[in-house]
């Protein structure tokens, strides 16, 4: 992790566009060269806090996802900017658009929804439990693949996820009203997921479908 002075940081991010912010200020910046810097607040910049910082987790997860052939961002560097109590991750964008944006323009694309369900089953089979798995954090790439951004909060196990974790992850997936509105009247995602899941059983199918229906009703 590189130490950056505030001056260097300001220089690096000069004329950047803010892609996301929160009550603490700028959070995601697109630089003029189209690379992205994402900032994370750290309470203390002692080594422990930095080792377990979301920036570090982001970097580790990116590396693991690449090993698993799951498209994600390409890391450029990790920074620590002490004066503003931030760590940061600098990466190359994953080219494409958010699933949410795609569905805005193509709300009836059933093949797309089926492929999304299949993708979710695939990452679960690869051991990925993605806590930020909503439609804004999954990118649809120009070569028609799905990929993940916003990857600080995930666990990647060496084994295919068990049934309990699969169900739990659906609670993250069907969480945002805007997303659910696209899929409220269909179970295409769920059906495709279940068809792709090798460990599926009739009782799991039943639980899975019931849970998803309940989650969608909460919108
Ligand atoms: N790799 C990327 N490719 C394309 N857009 C990105 C990428 N990373 C971030 N963005 C854009 O920045 C926004 C915020 O990034 P994200 O990491 O999801 O932050 P947040 O924590 O605010 O959700 C995304 O919703 C997306 O519009
Ligand atoms: Mg996000």
> Which residue ranges make up each domain of the chain?
2-92, 97-217
Ligand 2 centre to CA of 203 (Å) is 33
Max distance between CA atoms of the chain, in angstroms, equals: 60
| Percent of the chain residues past pLDDT 90, beyond the cut | 91
- Alpha carbons 46 and 64: distance in angstroms, whole number: 26
For 176, list phi and psi in degrees, rounded to 5: -105, 130
Angle of helix 163-173 relative to helix 110-125, nearest 10 degrees? 140
Q: Which residues surround ligand 2, an ion (CB under 5 A)?
A: 137, 150
For 207, list phi and psi in degrees, rounded to 5: -60, -45
Residue 50 is predicted with a pLDDT of 66
Q: Is 6 in the pocket of ligand 1 (CB under 6 A)?
A: no
Ligand 2 centre to CA of 206 (Å) is 30
Ligand 1 centre to CA of 210 (Å) is 31
- Alpha carbons 2 and 135: distance in angstroms, whole number: 32
Mutate to test the pocket of ligand 1, among 36, 58, 94, 137 (most ligand atoms within 8 A of CB): 36
Helices (H), 13-52: 47-51
| CATH for 2-92 (2.40.50, 1.10.540, 3.30.200, 2.60.40) | 3.30.200
> Which residues, other chains included, contact 91 with Cβ-Cβ below 8 Å and sequence gap of 6+?
35, 36, 38, 62, 73, 74, 75, 76
Do 2-92 and 97-217 share a fold? no
Q: Is 20 in the pocket of ligand 1 (CB under 6 A)?
A: yes
Angle 85-58-78 (CA atoms, 0-180°, nearest 5)? Answer: 55
Q: Is 163 in the pocket of ligand 1 (CB under 6 A)?
A: no
pLDDT digits (tens, 9 = 90+) for 21-37: 999 899 999 999 999 99
Ligand nearest to the CA of 133: 2
**Nearest residue by C-alpha to atom 14 in ligand 1:** 20
Ligand nearest to the CA of 73: 1
Report the C-alpha dihedral over residues 104, 110, 114, 115, rounded to 10 degrees.
-60
pLDDT digits (tens, 9 = 90+) for 108-120: 899 999 999 999 9
Ligand 1 centre to CA of 102 (Å) is 15
Ligand nearest to the CA of 58: 1
For 123, list phi and psi in degrees, rounded to 5: -65, -35
Which segment of 43-47, 91-95, 143-147, 201-205 scores lowest on mean pLDDT?
Answer: 43-47
Record the tokens describing residue 69, joined without a space. Answer: 């052939």
CATH superfamily ID and name for 97-217: Transferase(Phosphotransferase) domain 1 (1.10.510.10)
Record the tokens describing residue 131, joined without a space. Answer: 């806590």
Residue 203 is predicted with a pLDDT of 98
Q: Is the pLDDT of residue 199 over 90?
A: yes
Q: What is the mean pLDDT of the chain?
A: 95
Report the C-alpha dihedral over residues 104, 110, 112, 114, rounded to 10 degrees.
130
**Which residues share a beta bridge with 140?**
97, 146
Ligand 2 centre to CA of 147 (Å) is 13
DSSP 141: -
Atom of ligand 1 nearest to the CA of 38: 17
pLDDT digits (tens, 9 = 90+) for 53-94: 899 999 999 999 999 999 999 999 999 999 999 999 999 999
Record the tokens describing residue 53, joined without a space. Answer: 């910082």
Residue 49 is predicted with a pLDDT of 64
Q: Is the pLDDT of residue 166 over 70?
A: yes
- Alpha carbons 119 and 63: distance in angstroms, whole number: 19
């Amino acid at each position: 992790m590189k130490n950056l002075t505030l001056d260097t940081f300001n220089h690096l991010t000069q004329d950047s566009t803010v892609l996301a912010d929160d009550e603490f200020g700028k959070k995601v910046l697109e630089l003029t060269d189209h690379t992205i810097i994402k900032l994370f607040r750290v309470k203390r910049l002692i080594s422990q806090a930095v080792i377990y910082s979301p920036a570090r987790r982001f970097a580790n997860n990116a590396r693991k996802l690449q090993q698993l052939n799951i498209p994600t961002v390409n890391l450029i560097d990790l920074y620590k900017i002490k004066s503003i109590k931030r760590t940061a991750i600098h990466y190359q964008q994953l080219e494409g658009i958010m699933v949410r944006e795609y569905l805005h323009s193509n709300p009836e694309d059933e093949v797309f929804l089926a492929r999304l369900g299949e993708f979710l089953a695939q990452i679960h089979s690869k051991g990925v439990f993605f806590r930020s798995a909503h439609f804004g954090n999954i990118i649809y790439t120009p070569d028609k693949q799905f990929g993940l951004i916003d990857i600080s909060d995930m666990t990647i196990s060496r084994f295919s996820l068990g049934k309990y974790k699969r169900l739990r992850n659906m609670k993250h997936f069907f969480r945002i009203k805007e997303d659910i509105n696209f899929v409220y009247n269909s179970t295409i995602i769920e059906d495709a997921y279940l068809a792709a899941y090798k460990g599926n059983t009739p009782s799991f199918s039943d639980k899975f479908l019931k849970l998803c229906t309940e989650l969608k009703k909460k919108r």
